[in-house]
Amino acid sequence: MSGIEGKVIAITGASSGIGEAAARELARRGARVVLGARRTDRLEQLVAGIEAEGGTARQRALDVTRLDDVQAFVEFATAEFGRLDVIVNNAGVMPLSPLAALKIDEWNQMIDVNIRGVLHGIAAALPVMQVQGGGQIINIASTAGHRVWPSASVYCATKHAVLAISEGLRQEHDNLRVTVVSPGVTTSELAETISDPGIKTWIEDFRQVAIPAEAIARAIAYAVEQPDDVDVSEIIVRPAASPN
């Protein structure tokens, strides 16, 4: 199935930022979107807004750190619409801090959400897509997957991991499209997870040139709308004013 119209697209971390923008953009182009996040009140508002504009959307509470929850999310999507064409593994956190601060709970949170969450999305969607004979897995990484900054070591490591996992998955399947979208600094709530006051001030300055989440949503839509035999392996989208 080429294009976007009619496709069933599941999106994790859909309650804000890139996930919310992608939901609106894809639904506007005719996709049937299934939205997951922990903040169900926001999901309900988002679904209502999409449907008010003539789109089709469903929502379900989702914790990507739990494999059974992600599997139930995918099962919900297939029960609602009969198939799953695309999953966008978007959920992520970014509590930056110097390694010497030993914020080990925050390291584990990033590993659980940014790496395990992606793996759980793959584990839940891949069997469905294999039965269907195809599908597309889109993993949201970051320009942090291509370089490393001080105080961002663990976050960068998680995004490097997303690149490696995605490339391995792509090579293992000739009937599965695998896309990585790597945003540069983008409007989102990621910085709100930073507990270190000094790093929070630094990142707020860094984010002065942030591009809107809608820019990343359009990149996701571009990858989805390509013909079935075209795999857009990675898209890097960054602010024109950003050197990084």
100's CB contacts (< 8 A; 6+ apart) are none
First and final CA of the chain: distance in angstroms?
Answer: 36
Q: Any alpha helices (H) in the chain, and if so which ranges?
A: 17-28, 40-52, 67-81, 104-110, 117-132, 153-172, 197-206, 213-225
Please return the burial class of 202, using the count of CB atoms within 10 Å of its CB with bins 0-12, 13-18 and 19+. Answer: middle
Active site residue 155: yes
Query: Environment class of residue 53 by beta-carbon count within 10 Å: exposed (0-12), middle (13-18) or buried (19+)?
Result: exposed
Residues 6+ apart with CB under 8 A from 7: 1, 30, 31, 32, 85, 86, 224
Find how far residue 82's CA is from the centre of its chain. Answer: 22
In a 3-state reduction of DSSP, which class is residue 141?
A: coil
Active-site option among 73, 81, 107, 155? 155
Residues 6+ apart with CB under 8 A from 146: 163, 182, 236
Residue positions annotated with a catalytic role: 155
